[in-house]
Structure 1
């Protein structure tokens, strides 16, 4: 009998992939804070995860696209840049915390599997 690790860790593997993609997008926003005309982007994590899960289950995902969305600034600037560094840093920090949480869940699941294999 083989172990399907994708099934064993559940949605956390997909969540890690999406969190990594969101980290890349948020880092790009922060790096382009002073670039005139740069449009800040983000992804809707919940709908993207739902779409990935639906596709993995063979269902038709009708609720949208997981493509990055443009962020609407609270305080627009004159040069057209929509990056607000405080907003981006807060989103980046929250995303990093959520990434670590998913890693912790995966670690706990794999430790449980290892204990089961070892008969503990």
Structure 2
């Protein structure tokens, strides 16, 4: 069973997106002293909203239930430049405290998705083995 299986919902793709986001934030922190460096980030909510709008199921009857949208990270996960609160004179827009807080937030969301996947897998094992 692959992690792309509908049983796991959006969590595998959310893990991939949060990993990509943490890599960007780590690059921002690493370049905090680089003149002219522009901090970038991915807006998870925007990616999710775009995915849900694109994956809205077509129903032939309003009483039918819709399927769960699949999160596709691909082209929708374009990083954007972070708006600086106070840019440096050398043109660098990295605020290390903001980046650290955003990294902690992304790590927490990554861990939450891992927890959901872990619980789902344990539930499937219990259903299969009866233990």
**TM-score, normalising length from structure 2?**
0.77
- Aligned partner of 2:102 in structure 1 is 91
State the alpha-carbon separation in 2 of the partners of residues 119 and 92 from structure 1.
Answer: 39
CA distance in 1, matches of 2:54, 2:23: 23
Map residues 90-109 of structure 1 onto 2, 5 A cutoff. Answer: 90-109=101-120
Query: Which secondary structure does the structure 1 equivalent of 2:97 belong to?
Result: helix
Cα deviations across residues 53-83 of structure 1 (Å, max 9, x unaligned)? 5666789xxxx94210101111111000000
* TM-score in terms of structure 1 length: 0.84
Give 1:119 shift: 2.5
**Secondary structure of 2:78's partner?**
coil
Distance (whole Å) between structure 1 residues aligned to residue 54 and residue 25 of structure 2: 25
Is the CA contact (8 Å cut-off) linking 2:39 and 2:82 kept in structure 1?
yes
4+ residue runs of structure 1 moved beyond 6 angstroms? Answer: 56-59
- The CA distance in 2 between the partners of 1:4 and 1:67, in whole Å, is 25
Q: Secondary structure at the match of 2:83?
A: coil
The corresponding residue for 1:73 is 84
Q: 1:98 to 1:69 in 2, by over 3 A?
A: same
Structure 1: segments with no counterpart, 5+ residues: none
Determine if contact 1:11/1:53 at 8 Å carries over to the other structure: no
Worse-matched range after superposition: 43-52 or 17-26 = 43-52
Alignment coverage as a number of residue pairs: 114
Q: Structure 1 residues 42-51 or 98-107, which shifts more?
A: 42-51
**Structure 2 unaligned runs (5+)?**
59-74
